[in-house]
Amino acid sequence: MKKLWKGNEAIAEAAVAAGCRYFFGYPITPQNEIPEYLSWRLPEVGGAFIQAESEVSAINMVYGAAGAGARAMTSSSSPGVSLKQEGISYIAGAELPCVIVNMMRSGPGLGGIQPAQGDYFQATKGGGHGDYHPIVYAPSSIQEFVDITYNAFDVADKYRCPVMIIGDGMLGQMMEPAEIPPMRDLKDLPNKDDWAAYGHSDGRQRLINSIRIEADDLEQFCNRLFEKYKVIAQNETRSEEYLTEDAEYIFVAYGSVARICKAAVVELRAHGIKAGLIRPITLYPYPSDVIAKRAKSAQVKKFITVEMSMGQMVEDVRLAVNGLKPVEFYGRCGGNVMMPADLVKYVKEGK
Amino acid sequence: MQKITISGFGGQGVLSLGKFISYSAIEQNLNTSWLPSYGPEMRGGTANCSVIYSAEEIAAPVIDHPDILIAFNEPSLDKFENAVKKDGIIIINSDIVHKKTTRKDVKFYEIPVDTLAAEINKRGANVYMLGVLLPIFGDITEEAAIHAVEHVFESKPKVIPSNIECLKAGIAYMQKLLK
């Protein structure tokens, strides 16, 4: 049955349902309801919640739990996620599965606590040092947060890589009806006998680390990692198109902003202006093909990338459009949220 | 579809009034979204929330032009009255707000909810306001609202009967006013 869920709490319950039993975090607004919820919920299901002494500790505890074969997770918001980057790079280097949630707030620096999308580059381009990407999801409703969180642990296990779910303060704080999928039986979770460091009891020796001193070893590893990313791109890229078939103006937006664009599309169409929306659901791998296909449509006049930032995803849209059509940018930042009417005005006035 | 902006001081039950509406909408299988203000704005200052319910999918959870504004204090009326859409509705808590709207193109209701609710339950002003809203909405039943109240006060069952009484009194008050 559908219940009214707050975004942050829905993510937390969906993680429990997915078989996550270990959470490590450090408080920061606007995602505190995730650790708060899991602090009482995980002990109920035989799991453990630890409030670490810092974000750096928390992400390294995730490394440890994931290395031991458990489904583990951390969450934070922008400045806190910056602190976790070293650990995320190590997790990618050690090929460990885990889920990281970033409920973005406005930056740079300590910034503000209102919604923003300024961490797109950080999330999708690696964030930490070295050649790697997490898989990045950007849900736009509470139900989608639930479904993606539930699925994220499977994806992480399948490819043995970190999965990041990004939202913003608006999605974290708001409430909508959502249904949590059935609780996974831990016995049915993927078997990790061939790599996880459970201990010496079965006589096996396991070493999980991310150090590869020999240049050739490391190059071979990076090649293998990027072969894996090709498979991930083939299998996991997701996006939603809304009224793009005959659209002359196509918004490209993700997360909460995509919903504001959707409302603008409806309003523009009521005024006889053919607008549409491409909403990337995965930000890495990026749905470039979907955008490239629309860029080839004769009737498309331009793409308008809309973000709560100074313009980050717009670069990936430009790469996908590859000069075939103009790509414009509309953004708000600092924690301000655009209204559908702002976008309607932007399209109508041609600027 | 109804788009409702509720605003007032922190502690006046502004956010929970929004939750009552969303829970009521869910009871009737409608889509709904509840978006609160959060952060420094709330601490000692004003709190507001945007509530939408609809039979259709809800795209943007933000509200630029509410159908209904409920202002529990004067700064809320000042801040949001010009955003209310033409022929929309503004309701004030006239125990706290001692001025009228400057808008001529909206319906304006001054309701002393604190006084009215206090006859039943001193802390029931926001549930009383929920009752006031039902005849305006027209598509949320009393039964759904009662379930919403029971749900929100699940952990405090003692307060449920007096809140349901406030709800019913609010409905009766507005029905009389609309006649």
Whole-number pLDDT of residue B10: 83
Residue pLDDT, tens place only, A292-340: 999 999 999 999 999 999 999 999 999 999 999 999 999 999 999 999 9
Cα→Cα distances A51→A23, A64, A102, A149, A169, Å: 8, 15, 17, 21, 21
CATH 3.40.50.920 maps onto chain A at 240-348
List alpha helices for B60-154, DSSP H.
Answer: 74-80, 113-118, 125-137, 142-152
Distance (Å) from the C-alpha of residue B113 to the closest C-alpha of chain A?
A: 26
Q: Indicate the domain borders of chain B.
A: 2-178
Contact present, B61 and B33 (Cβ < 8 Å): yes
Contact present, A135 and A91 (Cβ < 8 Å): no
CB pairs under 8 A between A and B: 66
**Mutation choice for A interface testing from B6, B26, B49, B63 by most A CBs within 10 A:** B26
Whole-number pLDDT of residue B39: 67
Q: Which tokens sit at B2? A: 């109804």
Query: Taking residues B152-175, what's their average pLDDT?
Result: 96
Which pTM value belongs to this model? 0.96
Sheet holding A275-280, edge to edge: A239-242, A275-280, A249-252, A302-307, A327-331
Contact present, A306 and A343 (Cβ < 8 Å): yes
Asked if B64 reaches chain A (Cβ–Cβ under 8 Å), the answer is yes
CATH code for residues B2-178 = 3.40.920.10
Query: Taking residues A178-191, what's their average pLDDT?
Result: 97
| Predicted confidence (pLDDT) at residue B164 exceeds the cutoff of 70 | yes
Question: At B42, is the pLDDT very low, low, confident or very high (cuts 50, 70, 90)?
Answer: low
In this structure, the number of other CB atoms found within 10 A of the CB of residue B43 comes to 9
Q: Provide the CA B31 distance to its chain's centre, in angstroms.
A: 17
**Mutation choice for A interface testing from B62, B82, B151, B155 by most A CBs within 10 A:** B62
Cα–Cα distance measured from residue B118 to residue B123, given in angstroms and rounded to the nearest whole number: 7
Whole-number pLDDT of residue B145: 98
Q: Which tokens sit at A94? A: 């050690």
Whole-number pLDDT of residue A126: 86
Residue pLDDT, tens place only, A86-124: 999 999 999 999 999 999 999 999 999 999 999 999 999
* B39–A29 C-beta distance less than 8 A: yes
Q: Is A20 exposed, middle or buried (0-12, 13-18, 19+ CB in 10 A)?
A: buried
Whole-number pLDDT of residue A350: 78
* A260–B26 C-beta distance less than 8 A: no
Asked if B3 reaches chain A (Cβ–Cβ under 8 Å), the answer is no
**Topology given in CATH for the domain delimited by A3-236:** Rossmann fold (3.40.50)
* A4–B32 C-beta distance less than 8 A: yes
| Predicted confidence (pLDDT) at residue A200 exceeds the cutoff of 80 | no
Q: Which tokens sit at B70? A: 């409920």
| Predicted confidence (pLDDT) at residue B38 exceeds the cutoff of 90 | no
Whole-number pLDDT of residue A351: 62
Cα–Cα distance measured from residue A300 to residue A327, given in angstroms and rounded to the nearest whole number: 11
Whole-number pLDDT of residue B68: 98
Nearest C-alpha in A relative to B31: A177
Cα–Cα distance measured from residue A209 to residue A206, given in angstroms and rounded to the nearest whole number: 10
Whole-number pLDDT of residue A115: 96
Asked if B24 reaches chain A (Cβ–Cβ under 8 Å), the answer is no
Cα–Cα distance measured from residue B31 to residue B33, given in angstroms and rounded to the nearest whole number: 7
What is the sign, positive or negative, of the torsion defined by CA atoms of A286, A291, A293, A296? negative
Question: At B40, is the pLDDT very low, low, confident or very high (cuts 50, 70, 90)?
Answer: low
Cα–Cα distance measured from residue A100 to residue A152, given in angstroms and rounded to the nearest whole number: 10
* A341–B59 C-beta distance less than 8 A: no
* B39–A177 C-beta distance less than 8 A: no
Whole-number pLDDT of residue A312: 98
Distance (Å) from the C-alpha of residue A185 to the closest C-alpha of chain B?
A: 30
Task: Note the residue count of chain B.
Answer: 179
Q: Which tokens sit at B68? A: 């209904």
Contacts of B58 in chain A (CB under 8 A): 176
CATH 3.40.50.970 maps onto chain A at 3-236
* B59–A259 C-beta distance less than 8 A: yes
Residue pLDDT, tens place only, A59-94: 999 999 999 999 999 999 999 999 999 999 999 999
* A2–B64 C-beta distance less than 8 A: no
Distance (Å) from the C-alpha of residue A248 to the closest C-alpha of chain B?
A: 20
User: What percent of chain B lies above the pLDDT cut of 70?
Assistant: 97
Q: Which residue has the tokens 């909206």?
A: B106
Identify which has the larger pLDDT, B57 or B38.
B57
Residue pLDDT, tens place only, B91-104: 999 999 999 999 99
Nearest C-alpha in A relative to B52: A176
Q: Which residue has the tokens 């910034």?
A: A111
Query: Taking residues A268-279, what's their average pLDDT?
Result: 98
**Mutation choice for B interface testing from A1, A4, A110 by most B CBs within 10 A:** A4
Question: At B11, is the pLDDT very low, low, confident or very high (cuts 50, 70, 90)?
Answer: confident
Q: Are strands A239-242 and A275-280 parallel, antiparallel or unpaired?
A: antiparallel
Distance (Å) from the C-alpha of residue B69 to the closest C-alpha of chain A?
A: 18
Contacts of A259 in chain B (CB under 8 A): 59-61
| Predicted confidence (pLDDT) at residue B32 exceeds the cutoff of 70 | yes
Distance (Å) from the C-alpha of residue A101 to the closest C-alpha of chain B?
A: 19
Cα–Cα distance measured from residue A239 to residue A288, given in angstroms and rounded to the nearest whole number: 10
Asked if B154 reaches chain A (Cβ–Cβ under 8 Å), the answer is no
CATH code for residues A240-348 = 3.40.50.920
User: What percent of chain A lies above the pLDDT cut of 70?
Assistant: 99
Cα–Cα distance measured from residue A13 to residue A46, given in angstroms and rounded to the nearest whole number: 14
| Predicted confidence (pLDDT) at residue A127 exceeds the cutoff of 90 | yes
Asked if B61 reaches chain A (Cβ–Cβ under 8 Å), the answer is yes
| Predicted confidence (pLDDT) at residue B43 exceeds the cutoff of 80 | no
SS3 of residue B30 by DSSP: coil
Contacts of B33 in chain A (CB under 8 A): 174-176
Query: Taking residues A239-266, what's their average pLDDT?
Result: 98
